[in-house]
Amino acid sequence: MAAGVTGGGSGTWSDRFEEGLHPAIERFNASIGFDITLLQEDLDGSIAHARMLAECGVISDEEAGQLCAGLEQIRSEAASGNFQPGLADEDVHFAVERRLIALLGPVGKKLHTGRSRNDQVGTDLRLWLRRRIDALEQAVVRCQHALLTQADRHRETLIPGYTHLQRAQPLCLAHHLLAYVEMLERDRERLRDVRVRVNISPLGAAALAGTPVPINRRSTATALGFERVYANSLDAVSDRDFTVEFSAAAALVMAHLSRLAEEVIFWASEECGFVRLTDRCATGSSLMPQKKNPDVPELVRGKCGRVFGHLQGLLTMIKGLPLAYNKDFQEDKEALFDVVRTTSDCLEAMAILLEEGVEFRPERLEQAVASDFSNATDVADYLVTRGVPFREAYQLVGAVVKRCLQDGVLLRDLSLEQWQQFHPVIEADLLEALVPRRVVAARLSEGGTAFVRVEEQLALWSERLSTK
């Protein structure tokens, strides 16, 4: 077997080993197939480490310059497709170090001074995730903008509001859409909060106990944009809480996207018909030519399972691990990479769907809110304003609805004389109060669906998102 990075004959390992791994175990053990994703972060961390070693007098400035130049050459080779590590390299860290030694000779062997792959991979993973969190936050903002645009377009449109998937009360459609803007804002807050705990440097903790080499951990932390360093070397190399916490935040993003996706699917059904799907974001059937399928929201809804599963997998991975580093941690990367990729793809797809994939049908929505009993609560509220106790009013309206169902009519179809048979305090103004638009306009409490409240929220969100 070719000499390892240390010069021994056992591949990547020291001279303690006399022979290499069994080929099947070599394949089983290697992570280069997926952790090559961390190449740019590994190079960034290594450059910062090399410069710090020179600052501390561990290596010369000339050696640090050579190391940095060599690392940048590897970056260029990767960009041109000429850096192609294989199974023998085991992981991205050894792949970089092996290539650096090939480029620089003995100087390349000095890069690993004062660090271990344990703190190195923790650093790489945090750098990688930090950048992805920033990108995901912007993807969330794009969805918020798309929702806000639709809401602004439909500030006067009505939609049935549901509880238990049963018609409950009419709503302003903009109010309904702004509820998702609020959900996504909480997602942004969670991502920013997770980023705080991602942005802690483990570099310099070495394998688990620190190092006697006179390094400056705060120098590399500053160079790499970390806010602080881990206070405990054992915790530094064994902490994967941030992968779980991020995945939990991503799972909530996906849950919110899935809820919205489910509504779009429902709205697009022929039984509902609240929206039309445009050709840009729908597919057809291979057998039934009349069909237009809501593939985008269905895929978003389905992909939740991937993210939820990875969250559970990460929790299970860490739950029984003793301090400090364990090979189990190799399992965090594929899960984390897929959580980021899936969440990012779903945010982009949902944003496109909202931007150009759905068209609301105001005429169908108006028809829907005018053809049910969702204004029943307003009758009870009307009676309360005239001194009838709410529970008495509630029972009375239930009886009215029952009578209407028996007669096949709606509340709006009853004459004033018929209403007064139920209670003498009812006057002609009740008939006006039952008009859906008046029902919506009456919900003036803070956070309610009244048009004036929605106007306030539209203005607020327009201002808040204008700088995002």
**In Å, what is the CA distance from 97 to each residue of 44, 46, 348?**
13, 10, 37
Flag the least confident range among 161-165, 290-294, 325-329, 360-364.
Answer: 290-294
**Tokens describing residue 160:** 């049935």
Q: Which of 374, 344, 353 shows the shortest CA–CA distance to 298?
A: 353
Q: Which of 301, 292, 284, 283 shows the shortest CA–CA distance to 350?
A: 301
The reported pLDDT for the residue numbered 21 is 84
Residue 287 has pLDDT above 80, yes or no: no
Q: Determine contact, residues 358/275, Cβ cutoff 8 Å.
A: yes
Q: Please state the rounded mean pLDDT for residues 76-91.
A: 95
**Tokens describing residue 149:** 């645009």
Residue 19 has pLDDT above 90, yes or no: no
pLDDT in tens, 321-349: 999 999 999 999 999 999 999 999 999 99
Flag the least confident range among 17-31, 168-182, 261-275, 353-367.
Answer: 17-31
pTM of the model: 0.92
Residue 10 has pLDDT above 50, yes or no: no
Which residue is associated with the tokens 């106007």?
455
Count how many Cα atoms sit within 13 Å of the Cα of residue 13 in the half-sphere of its side chain.
10
The reported pLDDT for the residue numbered 9 is 45
Return the amino acid letter for 207. Answer: A
| 1: confidence class by pLDDT, cuts 50, 70, 90 | very low
Q: Determine contact, residues 468/461, Cβ cutoff 8 Å.
A: no
CA gap 135, 112 in Å, rounded: 31
Measured at the CA of 82, the angle between CA 67 and CA 10, to 5 degrees, comes to: 65
CA gap 204, 111 in Å, rounded: 13
Mean pLDDT of the chain: 94
Residues designated catalytic: 164, 285
Residue 3 has pLDDT above 70, yes or no: no
Flag the least confident range among 173-177, 186-190, 421-425.
Answer: 421-425
| 137: confidence class by pLDDT, cuts 50, 70, 90 | very high
**In Å, what is the CA distance from 403 to each residue of 378, 382, 389?**
17, 19, 21
The reported pLDDT for the residue numbered 292 is 87
The pair phi, psi for residue 163, each rounded to 5°, is -130, 140
pLDDT in tens, 379-400: 999 999 999 999 999 999 999 9
**Residue-wise over 363-375: b if at least 16 C-beta within 10 A, else e?**
eebbebbbebbbb
Residue 150 has pLDDT above 50, yes or no: yes
Q: For a pLDDT cut of 70, what percent of the chain falls above it?
A: 96
Which residue is associated with the tokens 């991937």?
306
Residue 361 has pLDDT above 80, yes or no: yes
Residue 37 has pLDDT above 50, yes or no: yes
The reported pLDDT for the residue numbered 273 is 95
Residue 7 has pLDDT above 70, yes or no: no
**Residue-wise over 170-182: b if at least 16 C-beta within 10 A, else e?**
bbbbbbbbbbbbe
Residue 289 has pLDDT above 80, yes or no: no
Q: Which of 392, 394, 368, 370 shows the shortest CA–CA distance to 380?
A: 394
The reported pLDDT for the residue numbered 310 is 98
Let me know how long the chain is: 468
The reported pLDDT for the residue numbered 2 is 39
- Domains, the chain: 23-113 (1.10.275.10), 118-212+225-368 (1.20.200.10), 370-465 (1.10.40.30)
Q: Please state the rounded mean pLDDT for residues 29-47.
A: 96
DSSP state of 353: I
CA gap 240, 349 in Å, rounded: 29
